[in-house]
């Protein structure tokens, strides 16, 4: 009897296990450490740091090919983009980027790369296969944020001193629209269906919700946390769930990530993360959002469904950017 009961319990346990969702897929998370000149690699199943490798001088913007074959890093003080093998962490080659590359965005097809050159008021378009510069597009003063529409037809650059989002046609390399936003726009993010564009303004303290078809600003998201100076609520990184329902905004020195309703644009919650949070990246399954916390030398992991911070992981010094490899 006893053995039979034990077997039943065991069966029940197995059934229970069978009903929970598949365990999280293990992804590799790459974090650029601006100060220590390294890239930290984290396993998203164990959340252990599995490697740290040299990333060039002052690595900031970081992204990965859609097929996971190449990792791209803006090595700002080297005036180049360094390309790494995401499996072996070997440096493969460099790409011409124009001076002081800070942030970039890859075409959804994996080529080309659109790079903001802060010092030259330019966006440089670089072919990642031929390693040639295809175009240099004059934009406003201090270009930084780069976003691309899901269909790849429009790339948006934000200029930090001009305070505009510049819409660039990716076929003609011409600016087709300029939208004035608030002070020091840092980041541009389209929704997955391309119907909305979110642009954060670090010093203005707002995120503009823009209709990309018309250029109209539909709404300005503002932030307020009791006990925190409004000047410290500085929006930088923005990520939107693929269903468009949730917008996550990194709020810099307020050490918080705002959770925003993607339809009403109400701020639902503020999640406490590490210090001076700037950039964000989802895991490809969107179960987790990873935040880079520059002044506490760590990344925070947010459970997206629960909208809770579940852990923090020490990385190198002054973590800046983050990207998660597809499987």
Partner 1 sequence: MLRVDYPSLLPLSRLDLPVPDLGLAGAELATQDNATTGGFLGHRYALHSVTTTPEEAPEAFATLMDQGYRIVVLLAEGPEILALADAAPPDALLLNARETDEALRGEACRANVLHVAPSDQMLTDALAQFLVWKRWTDWALIHGSHPADHALAQAYEMSARRFGARIVEWREFVDTGGARVSDSGHVQVQRQIPVFTQNMARHHVVVAADASDVFAVYLPYQTWEAAPVVGSSGLRPVVWHAAHESWGAIQLQNRFEALAGRPMREEDHLAWLALRAVGEAVVRTNSADPAAIRAYLLGDAFNLAAFKGQPLTFRPWNGQLRQPILLTDGRITVSVSPQDGFLHPLSPLDTLGPDRPESACSAFEETAP
**Binding region for partner 1 (CB under 8 A):** 100, 118-119, 121, 140-142, 159-164, 166, 175, 178, 180, 183-184, 202-205, 229, 231-232, 253
Cβ at position 184, least distance to partner 1 in Å? 4
- Closer to partner 1 by CB, 203 or 225: give it: 203
Compute the distance between CA of residue 158 and CA of residue 143 in angstroms, rounded to an integer. Answer: 6
The tokens 């840092």 sit on which residue? 186
- 3-state DSSP call for residue 77? helix
3-class secondary structure, 197: strand
Residue 100 C-beta: closest distance to partner 1, Å: 8
Closest approach of partner 1 to the CB of residue 103, in Å: 12
Shortest reach from residue 205's CB to partner 1, in Å: 8
Q: Residue 90 or residue 119: which is nearer to partner 1 going by CB?
A: 119
121 neighbors 100 (Cβ within 8 angstroms): no
What gap in Å lies between CA 68 and CA 75, rounded to an integer?
Answer: 20
Widest Cα–Cα separation across the chain: 81
Q: Which of 35, 62, 44, 38 is nearest to 313 (CA)?
A: 44
CA gap 38, 31 in Å, rounded: 8
Return the number of the residue (70 or 102) whose C-beta is nearest partner 1: 102
Angle, CA 309 vertex, CA 308 and CA 310 arms, to 5°: 105
- Please state the closest distance from residue 183 (CB atom) to partner 1, in A: 4
Nearer CB in complex with partner 1: 51/232:
232
Distance of closest approach, residue 181 Cβ to partner 1, in angstroms: 11
164 φ/ψ angles, rounded to the nearest 5 degrees = -130, 155
Is the Cβ of residue 44 or residue 124 nearer to partner 1 in the bound state?
124
Measured from the CB atom, the residue of 98 and 253 that comes closer to partner 1 is 253
Question: Residue 28 or residue 184: which is nearer to partner 1 going by CB?
Answer: 184
Question: Do residues 169 and 232 make contact, with C-beta atoms less than 8 angstroms apart?
Answer: no
- 4 membership: H or E segment, kind and range: helix 2-19
Alpha-carbon Rg for the chain in angstroms: 20
Helix (H) or strand (E) holding 15: helix 2-19
Q: Looking at beta carbons only, is 112 or 204 nearer to partner 1?
A: 204
Minimum Å distance from CB 216 to partner 1? 17
∠85-96-82 over CA atoms, to 5°?
25
Nearest to 219 by CA among 188, 263, 268: 263
Q: What's the closest the beta carbon of residue 142 comes to partner 1, in angstroms?
A: 5
């Amino acid at each position: 009897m006893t053995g039979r009961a034990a077997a039943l319990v065991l069966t029940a346990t197995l059934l229970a296990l069978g009903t929970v969702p598949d365990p999280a897929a293990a992804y590799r998370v790459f974090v650029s450490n601006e100060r220590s000149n390294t890239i930290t690699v984290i396993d998203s199943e164990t959340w252990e740091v599995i490697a740290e490798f040299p990333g060039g001088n002052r690595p900031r913007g970081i992204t990965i090919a859609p097929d996971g074959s190449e990792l791209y890093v803006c090595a700002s003080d080297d005036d180049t983009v360094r390309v790494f093998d995401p499996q072996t962490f070997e440096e493969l080659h460099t790409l011409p980027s124009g001076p002081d590359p800070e942030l970039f965005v890859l075409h959804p097809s994996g080529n080309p790369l659109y790079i903001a050159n802060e010092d030259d008021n330019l966006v440089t378009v670089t072919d990642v296969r031929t390693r040639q510069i295809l175009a240099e597009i004059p934009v406003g003063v201090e270009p930084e944020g780069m976003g691309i529409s899901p269909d790849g037809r429009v790339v948006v650059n934000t200029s930090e001193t001009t305070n505009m989002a510049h819409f660039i046609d990716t076929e003609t390399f011409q600016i087709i629209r300029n939208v004035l936003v608030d002070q020091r726009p840092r980041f541009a993010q389209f929704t997955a269906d391309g119907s909305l564009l979110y642009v954060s303004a670090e010093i203005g303290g707002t995120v503009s919700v823009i209709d990309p078809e018309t250029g109209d600003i539909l709404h300005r998201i503002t932030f307020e946390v009791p006990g925190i100076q409004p000047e410290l609520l500085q929006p930088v990184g923005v990520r939107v769930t693929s269903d468009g329902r949730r917008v996550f905004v990194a709020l810099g020195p307020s050490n918080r990530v705002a959770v925003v309703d993607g339809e009403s644009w109400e701020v639902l919650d503020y999640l406490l993360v590490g210090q001076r949070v700037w950039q964000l990246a989802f895991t490809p399954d969107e179960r987790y959002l990873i935040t880079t916390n520059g002044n506490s030398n760590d990344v925070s992991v947010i459970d997206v469904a629960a909208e809770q911070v579940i852990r923090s992981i020490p990385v190198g010094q002054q973590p800046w950017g983050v990207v998660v490899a597809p499987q």
